[in-house]
Amino acid sequence: MNPLQNALAQLAKAAKLAKLAPSVETAVGGPMRTIEVKIPLLGDDGQIRYYFGYRVQHNDARGPFKGGLRFHPAVDLDEVKALAFWMTIKTAVIGIPMGGAKGGIVVDPKKLSIPELERLSRGYVRAMRDFIGPDKDIPAPDVNTTPQIMAWMTDEYCQLTGGNNLGVITGKPLEYGGSLGRTAATGQGGYYILEQVVKKLKLPKSKVTIAVQGFGNVGYYFAKLAHEAGYKIVGLADSQGAIYDERGLNPEKVLVWKEQSGTLSTYQGGKHLSSQELLEQKCTVLVPAAMENVIDSENAKKIKASVILELANGPIAFAADKILNDRGILVVPDVLANSGGVTVSYFEWVQNLTNDYWTEAAVLAKLKPMMVESWEQIWRLSVKLKTDLRTAAFVLALERIVGAMKVRGMI
């Protein structure tokens, strides 16, 4: 199943439990708008090349569309539709007044020069200018996009519209309307959920071991925070390989190695594995923090972790979910675990609109209780409905989304 099929299967399961009418399930499941553009790029060699770009605006019943923008050669429309749907669920789960969207460009950014990357980023905004805006749709960073790319895009939009509309995009640098706490927000939110899981399951912190697949921004900050809190990080992986060491790893030292060598695969110490092999190693908490569908119906049978904390979007295939649940492995879903990023993006948007900027302590003081309360609501609902955490999260989100759609007369 591709990500979109996974997303719709998850919806169908939750819709049945929530007793949604088929027409309502259809209304919630399909996107409101799908935009596909062809972006011309003048290369450094003087040649013009074209790149396909997408933006899927899934649902704005609860507020303006919100969602990341990824640059990756494997981006396709079904994937973007799934990610937009999950963002609609996520914003409802965490309780921020926004809807869901997602975007992407089919490109390998590593093959572009910095000037080419800037021209492509600005070209995307020119193509999408009628569809995005502070009160319409607010993009943000995702896979292979950075605060610098968000700054170029924001500047392009401001030039096109003739105003300082900084709220059009979040995840910007601090120098240009960004929020303190945003860079680490997804990992920070995931760490808050980790603490709740350990508390709920009464796990002794000194015996909890963690493996993180994905050593980008999200995976690194989560691992760093967990390590600093006394958890043992036994595995780390990037796209080229993984290291596993039962004695423990220091994420900051590993990051220094990666920045100097370009990869974890040559790190001196521990056992060297593929990124996929790390998923099957012994640990208490497994954290997939990279891409979709990395855990499928085959390797789900080999997972040795007691808990899976999803920091990537859609890392577990629908068929694998049942296998993991049947095996008694607790899966904390992405729509809760990685919602810290979109929550602090929302905070950034609010700061941009009000021109009132907060300290990092204030940002985290607002983030933590939202994450903890959402966890408690989902846990209680899962117990009440006798279902898994993902389905409980979807049921909670559907109540809020459908409620907004009804009062607005959309259904």
Q: What contacts 24+ positions apart, CB below 8 Å, involve 28-31?
A: 28/59, 28/88, 28/398, 28/401, 28/402, 28/405, 29/85, 31/56, 31/57, 31/58, 31/59, 31/81, 31/84, 31/85
Catalytic one of 66, 81, 90, 102: 102
Report the amino acid identity of residue 356: D
Residue 272 has a pLDDT of: 94
DSSP-derived letter for residue 316 is B
Provide CB contacts within 8 A for 203, sequence distance 6+: 197, 284
Neighbours of 272 (CB within 10 A): 14
d(CA 272, CA 249) in angstroms, rounded, equals 13
* Token couple for 395: 């049921």
Neighbours of 10 (CB within 10 A): 24
DSSP-derived letter for residue 41 is E
Q: Where in the chain is the domain with CATH 3.40.50.10860?
A: 33-163
102: annotated active-site residue = yes
| Residues shown for the chain | 411
Residue 263 has a pLDDT of: 82
Asked if 128 and 57 count as a contact pair (C-beta separation under 8 A), the reply is: no
| Rg of the chain in Å (alpha carbons) | 20
Which residues are 137's β-sheet partners? 65, 133
Q: Alpha helix (H) ranges present in 272-387? A: 275-278, 318-326, 334-337, 340-354, 360-385
185-332: CATH, from 1.10.357.10, 1.20.1250.20, 3.40.50.720, 3.10.350.10: 3.40.50.720
Which residues are 52's β-sheet partners? 38
pLDDT in tens, the chain (411 residues): 789 999 999 999 999 999 999 999 999 999 999 999 999 999 999 999 999 999 999 999 999 999 999 999 999 999 999 999 999 999 999 999 999 999 999 999 999 999 999 999 999 999 999 999 999 999 999 989 999 999 999 999 999 999 999 999 999 999 999 999 998 999 999 999 999 999 999 999 999 999 999 999 999 999 999 999 999 999 999 988 999 999 999 999 999 999 988 888 788 888 999 999 999 999 999 999 998 889 999 999 999 999 999 999 999 999 999 999 999 999 999 999 999 999 999 999 999 999 999 999 999 999 999 999 999 999 999 999 999 999 999 999 999 999 999 999 999
Q: Return the CATH architecture of domain 33-163.
A: 3-Layer(aba) Sandwich (3.40)
Residue 269 has a pLDDT of: 83
Q: Where in the chain is the domain with CATH 3.40.50.720?
A: 185-332
Beta strands in 4-73 (DSSP E): 33-42, 48-59, 65-72
Nearest CA among 337, 336, 333 for reference residue 320:
333
